């Protein structure tokens, strides 16, 4: 089959489109013909070099396609069935897994991180990870959903415990997590404030339901939030930007508020003023992916049309370098997809 592999860590030039052997399908697996795979910031981190990644390696976490065949021990799938793959790998038998907290399993990793991913034509998936999709969702839309929507759902619902009517600040409206977080917050009838670096992105965010947009190059986030909330602050901040926005994010919280973070695209080193943390009774929550239960839950809303996939642009798999370069420039609103 055709696949994109990296044989060394580095820039987009290490992405190599080549012929490799088809995957061997175990009896408890399902073989899927990949139609679309979305890019995430994780692809850039893995490409640049992360511990636990064995070379050569296939990137790509979010994939959708058609069932080719199901192994002997698997029932309930038929050839040609349209599916997406839950983007996580876990042992399935430890206490965390059996209690539904797969993202705390010691073997937990994201598909395409410490295990091979979906930038290829054929993918052998654990049956648990193969989830049928409705005809209303095309493959590009389906591939754009799982990682960012389960992440945003876990952050807002699982960890921060969002309640109807709260005020939520979502950083980075154009990012996948931002797009998911805006819509999930509106599903809970929250007031949503979001940020972006261009007016076009802010307009698109408003079209998704955001109530207020802050231009983060022209306006100071904490000052705008103060004005919008009548000096009260927000209940929840959805963070994934890191160093560049951390102080502003902390300033935006109301007393008792929660900052939940799942990333550090601008850098991991931040400071915390402990006096503010305890006196204002703030919560800082670290989030990584989500559980299989949460994925099923959020997909239910996507399949019913209450949450929408947003695809920015597609590239053929053979032109994946251009797709990575495009993602690195952060000009997108929504997901970047490679199609096999
Ligand atoms: Zn486990």
- Which pLDDT value is given to residue 235? 98
Across 268-272, average pLDDT: 95
Ligand 1: centre distance to CA 55 (Å): 24
Ligand 1: centre distance to CA 87 (Å): 15
Check pLDDT > 90 for residue 331.
no
- Which pLDDT value is given to residue 330? 84
Environment of ion ligand 1 (residues, CB < 5 A): 90-91, 94, 97, 105
pLDDT tens-digit map of 141-159? 999 999 999 999 999 999 9
3-state secondary structure 268-314: CCCCCCHHHHHHCCCEEEECCCCCHHHHHHHHHHHHCCCCCCCEEEE
pLDDT tens-digit map of 200-237? 999 999 999 999 999 999 999 999 999 999 999 999 99
- Which pLDDT value is given to residue 264? 92
**Distance, CA of 197 to CA of 302 (rounded, Å):** 27
pLDDT tens-digit map of 18-63? 999 999 999 999 999 999 999 999 999 999 999 999 999 999 999 9
Ligand 1: centre distance to CA 109 (Å): 10
Structure tokens at 8: 């060394």
Ligand 1: centre distance to CA 287 (Å): 17
Check pLDDT > 90 for residue 17.
yes
Q: Find the angle CA(224)-CA(230)-CA(235) to the nearest 5 degrees.
A: 80
Phi-psi region of 281 (alpha: psi -120 to 50; beta: other; left: phi over 0): left
Which residue, chain included where needed, has tokens 């989030």? 287
Check pLDDT > 90 for residue 295.
yes
Ligand 1: centre distance to CA 147 (Å): 19
Are the beta carbons of 236 and 159 closer than 8 angstroms? no
Check pLDDT > 90 for residue 177.
yes
Q: Where are the beta strands (DSSP E) in 119-210?
A: 122-126, 130-132, 167-170, 191-196
Check pLDDT > 90 for residue 318.
yes
Check pLDDT > 90 for residue 123.
yes
Provide the mean pLDDT of the chain: 97
- Which pLDDT value is given to residue 127? 97
Ligand 1: centre distance to CA 297 (Å): 20
Q: How many helices (H) and strands (E) does the chain have?
A: 11, 18
Q: What percent of the chain has pLDDT over 90?
A: 99
Check pLDDT > 90 for residue 128.
yes
Ligand 1: centre distance to CA 293 (Å): 14
Ligand 1: centre distance to CA 279 (Å): 38
């Amino acid at each position: 089959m055709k696949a994109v592999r990296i044989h060394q860590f580095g820039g987009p030039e290490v992405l190599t489109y080549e012929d490799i052997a088809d995957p061997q399908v175990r009896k408890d697996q399902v073989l899927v013909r990949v139609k679309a795979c979305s890019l995430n910031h994780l692809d850039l981190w893995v490409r640049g070099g992360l511990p636990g990644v064995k070379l050569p390696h296939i990137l790509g976490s979010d994939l959708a396609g058609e069932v080719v065949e199901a192994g002997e021990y698997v029932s309930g799938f038929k050839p040609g069935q349209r599916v997406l793959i839950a983007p996580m790998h876990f042992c399935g038998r430890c206490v965390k897994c059996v209690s539904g907290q797969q993202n705390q399993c010691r073997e937990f990793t994201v598909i395409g991180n410490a295990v091979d991913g979906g930038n290829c034509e054929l993918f052998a998936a654990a049956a648990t990870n193969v989830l049928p999709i409705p005809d209303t969702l095309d493959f590009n839309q389906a591939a754009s959903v799982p990682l960012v929507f389960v992440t945003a759902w876990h952050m807002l619902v699982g960890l921060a415990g969002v309640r109807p009517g709260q005020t939520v600040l979502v950083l980075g409206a154009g990012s996948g997590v931002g797009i998911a977080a805006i819509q999930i917050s509106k599903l809970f009838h929250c007031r949503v404030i979001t940020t972006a670096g261009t007016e076009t992105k802010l307009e698109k965010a408003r079209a998704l339901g955001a109530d207020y947009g802050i231009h983060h190059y022209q306006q100071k986030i904490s000052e705008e939030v103060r004005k919008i909330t009548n000096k009260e602050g927000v209940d929840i901040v959805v963070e994934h930007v890191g160093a560049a926005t951390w102080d502003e994010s902390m300033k935006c919280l109301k007393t008792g508020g929660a900052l939940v973070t799942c990333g550090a695209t601008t850098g991991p080193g931040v400071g915390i003023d402990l006096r503010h943390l305890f006196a204002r009774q703030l919560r800082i929550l670290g989030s990584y992916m989500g559980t299989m239960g949460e994925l099923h839950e959020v997909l239910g809303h996507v399949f019913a049309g209450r949450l929408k996939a947003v695809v920015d642009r597609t590239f053929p798999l053979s032109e994946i370098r251009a797709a990575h370069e495009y993602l690195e420039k952060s000009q997108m609103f929504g997901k970047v997809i490679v199609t096999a």
